[in-house]
Amino acid sequence: MNTVPVVVVGGGPAGITAAVEASRAGARVLLIDEGPAVGGQIYRQVASELRRRSGADGYAAESAPLFASLAASGLEVWNDAEVWGVFPDRMLAIHRGGRSLRLQASALVLATGAYDRPVAFPGWTLPGVVTAGGTTALIKSQRIVPGRRVLLTGTGPLLLAAAAALVRGGAEIAGIAVAASRTAFLGLVRRPGAIGKALDVLATLKRGGASMSYGYGIVRVEGRDAVEGAVIAEWDSSWRAVRGTERTVEADTVVIGYGLVPSSELAQLAGCEVTYNAGQGGWVPVAAPDRFMATSVPGVFVAGDGAGVAGAEAGKLQGVLAGIGAARHAGKLDDRDAAARAKQPLRDLAKMSSFRAALERMHAPQPGLFELAADDTIVCRCEEVTAGDVRQAVSDGARLVTEVRAATRCGMGLCQGRMCVPTVAGLIERHTGVPVGNTGRLTARPPVRPLPVTALAEEAER
Amino acid sequence: MTTTSNRIATDVERGASFSFTVDGQDVEAYPGETIAGAMLAAGRRVARRTAWRAEPRGAFCFMGVCHDCRMVVDGVPNVRTCLTPVRAGMVVETQPGFGPAPSFGAPEEGQR
């Protein structure tokens, strides 16, 4: 078995700072990333086959120092490699180039990021409904916009980033429906450190003629084989549509961005204790900055949105801390040296706490979000389970997401519940009063990413 | 401000275009694009039809999580087209349900 002192999973901002920090401390580090190039979703790089003609955009400028520090460190990076399992003693199973392989990490940093919160409303499965994170990823890496006339609806800064990228990409903005009030929203994006260029973003939107509708949200999307239009309405503070305020919007594409859900399945596989935190997006590994982001499992550290959604800036600082912790665990730093190195990032992280609290308040889903789905609305995109099926299971006594799954197959498809469980948990809470945090979770099981059976067979023969 | 193409051309230069087929029809693509990206640029949004309700689905998350963009690529079902680079001559088909039974050949390079 090949043993590596420090393995970092995920090449976004948190993973890069973790890897670089551990490498600086003298550890041999391997960074594993599933994308064709590092950057994660937020700093996703334009495909190498496209030649950039003019200056870098805001994100590219923001990420340049990070990439430079990674290159300078000389540490080993694997791209197009998916970690599909974590087994006892930090043994990783990796799918790379059609092959499966394993290696042992003395210390492991999981910086697995987050994905857009799935929101079930009538029409959300129609082609042309896309996520905010997906929209920015598509634009950043391929310079392709998902549609020509776009309605955006959601909550936070990521939605605005998507809108600005669409405007710059030449798409027409049919509208931007933001759940928060104007005061709350502007108060957040104007804080220092909110998103790279929040005010630039607002200016870009204004130039593009995009109209913001504060206190508005999605009701439904309409179309036959793809999006043809949508209905939005004024939302009250619990995100319930105000009767009589519905407005039809003509659009060929609808971007939804109601926050992010941490990808904590590898941490769960590793056996890390997790806790439910609505503001941070869902189930997050228990870890504290002043303990180097160490989880409950010795030698396993977490950083970035996968450790609780907090944005790139906080993620970078958590990454530094996790990198220090990992190097210390691998025997490359003594306690004193580790504590000295952690001082500044801890201080910087503490400074961000009030912004993060405001962000969490804005992102925490309100009850109305789980009342959007009609009985015939799909909740589980893979197994085609409807909200009506889930409600029936709940009225038959299901109180856990696993019980709903047993009754309906909800969560048994290829996405492994990532697209339905947040909605199922919300529906259980709406109909029974059982808090989402008490509805349980689906057991993470390998492979957490699909891999061809031929890769496993080939590994067995090797 | 409104563009006539879904491809942004203001700040990048693309290589030479090539074609692949979707359900037998030629679709144009450029180096660096995924199958889903090239399809969107061509205005094609439907990747698959669901098994039970035969509903249309297309790329939703663009990061390999939702699995709704999966199609049959060169005979291999359940290929996530949002992650898979498009290549000249690829034969891509709308996936019905769970797709045809696989032949258990090794996947082509680049398929995931």
**Contact predicate A91/A1, CB 8 Å:** yes
CA distance A362 to chain B (A): 22
**Contact predicate A314/A306, CB 8 Å:** no
Output the CA–CA distances (angstroms, integers) from residue A63 to A56, A84, A196, A200, in the order listed.
10, 27, 10, 17
Two structure tokens written together for B80: 């996530």
CA distance B19 to chain A (A): 16
Q: Kindly report the backbone phi and psi dihedral angles of residue A438, in degrees, each rounded to the nearest multiple of 5, phi listed first.
A: -105, 10
Report CB contact under 8 Å: B57, A381.
Answer: yes
Cα A276 to Cα B31: distance, rounded to the nearest angstrom = 42
Instruction: Report yes or no: A33 at the B interface, CB cutoff 8 Å.
Output: no
Give mean pLDDT, residues B1-7. 64
Two structure tokens written together for A226: 């793809």
Q: Helices then strands (H, E): number in chain A?
A: 14, 22
Q: What is the pLDDT of residues A11-60, one digit of tens each?
A: 999 999 999 999 999 999 999 999 999 999 999 999 999 988 766 566 77
Handedness of CA A369, A372, A374, A380 (dihedral sign): negative
Q: Model confidence at B1, in pLDDT bands (50, 70, 90)?
A: very low
Report CB contact under 8 Å: A133, B63.
Answer: yes
- Provide the pLDDT for residue A453: 85
Instruction: Report yes or no: A401 at the B interface, CB cutoff 8 Å.
Output: no
Cα A87 to Cα A69: distance, rounded to the nearest angstrom = 31
Residue A260: DSSP 8-state: E
What is this model's ipTM? 0.94
CA distance B1 to chain A (A): 5
CA distance B23 to chain A (A): 16
Two structure tokens written together for B36: 């889903």
**Residues in chain A closer than 8 A to B87 (CB atoms):** none
Two structure tokens written together for B61: 């998350």
- Provide the pLDDT for residue A376: 97
Q: Model confidence at B3, in pLDDT bands (50, 70, 90)?
A: very low
Output the CA–CA distances (angstroms, integers) from residue A16 to A43, A231, A450, in the order listed.
11, 41, 25
Handedness of CA B101, B103, B104, B109 (dihedral sign): negative
pTM of the predicted model as reported, rounded to 2 decimal places: 0.94
CA distance A6 to chain B (A): 26
Q: Which residue of B has its CA nearest to A413?
A: B67
- Provide the pLDDT for residue A296: 98
Q: Which residue of B has its CA nearest to A57?
A: B11
Report CB contact under 8 Å: A144, B41.
Answer: yes
**Contact predicate B8/A148, CB 8 Å:** no
Q: Helices then strands (H, E): number in chain B?
A: 1, 9
Report CB contact under 8 Å: B45, A449.
Answer: no
Report CB contact under 8 Å: A142, B14.
Answer: no
Instruction: Give Cα A437 distance to the centre of its chain.
Output: 19
Q: Model confidence at B109, in pLDDT bands (50, 70, 90)?
A: low
Report CB contact under 8 Å: B1, A34.
Answer: no
Instruction: Report yes or no: A265 at the B interface, CB cutoff 8 Å.
Output: no
Two structure tokens written together for A124: 């959300």
Q: For chain B, how many residues are written? A: 112
Two structure tokens written together for B104: 């258990």
φ/ψ region of B34 (left if φ > 0, alpha if ψ in -120 to 50, else beta) reads beta
Q: Taking CB atoms and an 8 Å cut-off, how many pairs form between chains A and B?
A: 166
Residue ranges in chain A whose pLDDT is less than 50: none
Q: Which residues of A218-242 are buried (b: 16+ CB within 10 A; e: fewer)?
A: bbbbbbeebbebbbbbbbeeebbbe
Q: Which amino acid is at A196?
A: G
**Residues in chain A closer than 8 A to B33 (CB atoms):** 47, 142, 144
Cα A317 to Cα A315: distance, rounded to the nearest angstrom = 5
Report CB contact under 8 Å: A138, B66.
Answer: no
Which own/partner pairs from A409-414 qualify as long-range (CB within 8 Å, at least 24 positions apart)?
A: A409/A380, A409/A383, A409/A385, A410/A379, A410/A380, A410/A383, A410/A385, A411/A380, A411/A383, A411/A442, A412/A380, A412/A382, A412/A383, A413/A380, A413/A381, A413/A382, A413/A383, A413/B67, A414/A382, A414/A450, A414/B67, A414/B70, A414/B78
Instruction: Give Cα A50 distance to the centre of its chain.
Output: 26
Residue A72 CB neighbours (<10 A): 11
Nearest one of A377, A374, A379 to A419, comparing CA atoms: A379
Q: What is the pLDDT of residues A188-237, one digit of tens each?
A: 776 655 555 667 777 888 887 888 899 999 999 999 999 999 999 999 99
**Residues in chain A closer than 8 A to B50 (CB atoms):** 384
Token pair 């997906």 in the structure block, residue? A134
